[in-house]
Chain A
């Protein structure tokens, strides 16, 4: 093992009422890829925020040694100066600017007082070559897919002479090909001497790429393992503190013959983009069934869900929608909710939850009339309802008056789920229900889904994780380029079959 480039010693960080990190020690050797794993709320992000100076020196106790020197960072600019760069799950690029402008944003190539644009473009080209991205640097960032945007972020970090690169869930929004490319790039960067810390929930990926893995649990370091010692089961055991034998709960046969939702010749055009986004879609959902919608990101799965759920983006629609045998035209999500359809969004922070409000307000939001008398909200009933979901969904929060922004990803997802269960839907559409949440919380969500279909609910699950699709659904539709590219019973499906149709 090489000499450590980074040592974090006895780090303790408290938030009002919560000890996020207690006495965490963490060591990264020069030139390795070090993965940091743990359930949501284990303290990974907090630790990285301390390292990158987001929580400035003095707001925590303990020492950071980087390159053998004690460091006191008071902001991101300090840590960047020292050679540490962090890339978050939510990318920090300016979509309306070009790739080269983004790469040198805040670090402009100067010629006296002026920006030297020719030199900027030339250097941007070199950086893009380093990350193996073959695009015109004059493209605007919004024209790139998420995978390429991520590479631009890495190029931006490299332009600052980064020695330690931190990636927070880099592959969570990437499809399998892009993920592969990214991992390959990390290995190349390692050869070039860049040390890398990666936070990830995808354990297969971790095993594939890591030299060393550190497991955090409940704000403490549990263990640090070398690459040749790790297995998926072992990591899970350390992460949750118990052994999980099955990643997916046992499913009983709950599917009946009754069709609760059917879509026929369904097409949609997005008027603002002026192009067809869904074409001739036919599919159905039976009572008590979990139907998986597989496909690549951007294939039109979310658009399909939105077009059914009251069409809030105002697409031009054609085709027929039948809910419980009745033909329906939903003009607003409210109509869909009233007809018994609920939609848990893909992006819980963006359009799922109201982060500045508390747990109870979020849970009651879609069904306030249920707990109101002539328009006046009954606050006691609201607390009661929220507490019921808090215990039945096992939402970890000190009280239902806690702001949702203070909860971890998995608990936020449970709040979103609680909100939609409170409208007592018969058809539940889940869009990426386990994105960015940890193994333990995933299992809980799967168990909830299993219970719901047992009670007669029907679920459409949109997911980019093929193992999840195969593990949970009864039937799979594969969506590609706005069309249904195939349908199969899960028993006959394999990851390869689905991938072949999805990439058609």
Chain B
């Protein structure tokens, strides 16, 4: 009885933090049942992760933009446009992938800087400035694809980003059909997680800060390890970790580190929490605005690359509604519309929720019209949940 009471209390106090993980879990469980297991099959999960990639990286950038109290509507078509630029760079200018990719990312940073100039220097509201960007990049995609239509990409290195998998350790014969290197990564991730959690708990205890009761802490560790282990096992059962998943993981880890551990990250959240106080504390708010929009532009470029690589071509319609999916993912992931609050990891979960809905409903054969309605309902429910639990976390 005592145990359940503690469990309930812990859950109530941390409902905001755990809510979206639970939501993702529930959505996945429901689809697993309704599709008689097809949803949770290795192949589908790998596909799901690959489909989520281009929205996930946008959602990471969008998290920071919303944290500093702005919005960026231009990133969808910017991503589509930059994907087309990458395609042209390779197919018409004959640049190799390892030059085309950095060029695309650099152009993304430039595009973000222009938005930042309008927002920080000219004091134009981000909504308006990026709406202008939305129109301009939409036109720009049409301009570059008008003469050729779809631009086919034949560079195998580039196409591997969206379709390839990491190689396995050669020569190992145990566990046939299972991707060993993926499994090893999964095990390492679990070990790292357990150690870092125990370490941070010890430090908190040393300062007499509030920590989870021991049994709850163990349950949390077991749950998280099981989650990572399960996903790893599923991925390893198909072809292992895809390059898209690697890209998303690397982006997430870098941004998570920046936002939680660095001076820059603190400054970003300070600007979002109270821009006037941040400025008077010696933080250059304009500089932060440039950095955040610059990073958003770069991630839009990356998003375009992931998408173009997956389709092995650049199309005239690439980029439509990506920005809204990214914004929705961020809000589902617990980013506060008022600014100053929101986690990168949360937004990734948000993106997974959105794409799980799409994937699950596709498998169930539900029409696109109802899919939109269902996704809208989930977004509304997520934000209602967020507002209702605020201040209890």
Contact status A376-B277, CB under 8 Å: no
Residues of A within 8 A of B147 (CB): none
Residues of A within 8 A of B263 (CB): 368-369, 372, 375-377
- Measured CB to CB, the closest approach of chain B to A103, in angstroms, equals 29
Contact status A377-B274, CB under 8 Å: no
- Asked if B192 is an interface residue, CB under 8 A from chain A, the answer is no
In the bound complex, CA of A365 to CA of B284 (Å): 13
Residue-wise, chain A 290-314 has the 8 Å CB interface mask toward B (1 for contact) of: 0000000000000000000110100
- Asked if A383 is an interface residue, CB under 8 A from chain B, the answer is yes
Query: A351-B276, A354-B274, A365-B270 given as contacts; is B282 within 8 A of A375 (CB)?
Result: no
In the bound complex, CA of A419 to CA of B274 (Å): 15
Residue-wise, chain A 359-391 has the 8 Å CB interface mask toward B (1 for contact) of: 001001110110010011101100100010000
- Asked if B273 is an interface residue, CB under 8 A from chain A, the answer is yes
Residue-wise, chain A 412-426 has the 8 Å CB interface mask toward B (1 for contact) of: 000000010000000
- Measured CB to CB, the closest approach of chain A to B258, in angstroms, equals 9
- Measured CB to CB, the closest approach of chain A to B66, in angstroms, equals 14
Residue-wise, chain B 275-298 has the 8 Å CB interface mask toward A (1 for contact) of: 011111111100000000000000
Residues of B within 8 A of A377 (CB): 261-263, 265-266
Query: A352-B277, A354-B278, A419-B281 given as contacts; is B262 within 8 A of A375 (CB)?
Result: yes
Q: Which of B203, B209, B261, B273 contacts A354 (CB 8 A)?
A: B273
Contact status B266-A354, CB under 8 Å: no
Contact status A334-B277, CB under 8 Å: no
- Asked if A58 is an interface residue, CB under 8 A from chain B, the answer is no
In the bound complex, CA of A350 to CA of B276 (Å): 8
Residues of A within 8 A of B284 (CB): 332, 334
Contact status B282-A366, CB under 8 Å: yes
Residues of B within 8 A of A368 (CB): 263, 266-267
Residue-wise, chain A 310-347 has the 8 Å CB interface mask toward B (1 for contact) of: 10100000000000000000001110111000010100
- Measured CB to CB, the closest approach of chain A to B47, in angstroms, equals 37
Q: How many A-B residue pairs have CB under 8 A?
A: 83
Chain A residue with Cβ nearest B285: A312
Residues of A within 8 A of B273 (CB): 354-357
In the bound complex, CA of A361 to CA of B283 (Å): 14
In the bound complex, CA of A332 to CA of B281 (Å): 10
In the bound complex, CA of A364 to CA of B203 (Å): 19
Query: A356-B340, A365-B270, A376-B261 given as contacts; is B207 within 8 A of A383 (CB)?
Result: yes
Contact status B262-A357, CB under 8 Å: no
Interface size counted on chain A using CB atoms at 8 A: 36
Q: Which of B269, B274, B280 contacts A343 (CB 8 A)?
A: B280
In the bound complex, CA of A378 to CA of B181 (Å): 34
- Measured CB to CB, the closest approach of chain B to A302, in angstroms, equals 12
Chain A residue with Cβ nearest B271: A354
In the bound complex, CA of A343 to CA of B276 (Å): 13
Q: Which of A337, A355, A387 contacts B274 (CB 8 A)?
A: A355
Chain A residue with Cβ nearest B273: A354
In the bound complex, CA of A351 to CA of B275 (Å): 8
Contact status A312-B207, CB under 8 Å: no
In the bound complex, CA of A387 to CA of B274 (Å): 23
Contact status B266-A365, CB under 8 Å: yes
In the bound complex, CA of A477 to CA of B223 (Å): 65
In the bound complex, CA of A245 to CA of B269 (Å): 44
- Measured CB to CB, the closest approach of chain A to B308, in angstroms, equals 33
- Asked if B264 is an interface residue, CB under 8 A from chain A, the answer is yes
Residues of B within 8 A of A419 (CB): 281
- Asked if A196 is an interface residue, CB under 8 A from chain B, the answer is no
In the bound complex, CA of A380 to CA of B269 (Å): 19
- Asked if B114 is an interface residue, CB under 8 A from chain A, the answer is no
Q: Which of B209, B270, B283 contacts A357 (CB 8 A)?
A: B270
Chain A residue with Cβ nearest B392: A16
Residues of A within 8 A of B5 (CB): none
- Asked if A399 is an interface residue, CB under 8 A from chain B, the answer is yes
Residues of B within 8 A of A399 (CB): 207-210
- Asked if A353 is an interface residue, CB under 8 A from chain B, the answer is yes
- Measured CB to CB, the closest approach of chain B to A369, in angstroms, equals 6
Q: Which of A312, A387, A401 contacts B279 (CB 8 A)?
A: A312
- Asked if B341 is an interface residue, CB under 8 A from chain A, the answer is yes
Contact status A333-B266, CB under 8 Å: no
Contact status B340-A333, CB under 8 Å: no
Contact status A309-B280, CB under 8 Å: yes
Query: A355-B274, A356-B340 given as contacts; is B264 within 8 A of A375 (CB)?
Result: yes
Residues of A within 8 A of B281 (CB): 333, 365-366, 419
Indicate the member of B265, B267, B274 with the most A CB atoms within 10 Å: B274
In the bound complex, CA of A396 to CA of B278 (Å): 24
Contact status A351-B262, CB under 8 Å: no
Residues of B within 8 A of A383 (CB): 207
Query: A354-B270, A355-B274 given as contacts; is B261 within 8 A of A333 (CB)?
Result: no
Residues of A within 8 A of B262 (CB): 372, 375-377
Indicate the member of B265, B279, B340 with the most A CB atoms within 10 Å: B279
In the bound complex, CA of A368 to CA of B274 (Å): 17
CB-CB contacts below 8 Å: B203-243 with A: 203, 207-210
In the bound complex, CA of A350 to CA of B261 (Å): 26
- Measured CB to CB, the closest approach of chain B to A345, in angstroms, equals 6
Contact status A333-B279, CB under 8 Å: yes
Residues of A within 8 A of B266 (CB): 361, 364-365, 368, 377
Residues of B within 8 A of A366 (CB): 281-282
- Measured CB to CB, the closest approach of chain A to B197, in angstroms, equals 15
Residues of B within 8 A of A401 (CB): 209-210
A-B contacts, 9 listed (Cβ < 8 Å)? A332-B284, A333-B279, A334-B282, A354-B278, A356-B340, A357-B269, A365-B270, A375-B263, A419-B281
Q: A345-B277, A345-B280 are in contact. List 7 more A-B contacts (CB 8 A).
A: A333-B282, A356-B341, A366-B281, A368-B266, A368-B267, A401-B209, A419-B281
Top 6 closest A-B pairs, CB basis? A351-B276, A354-B273, A334-B282, A366-B281, A337-B282, A354-B274
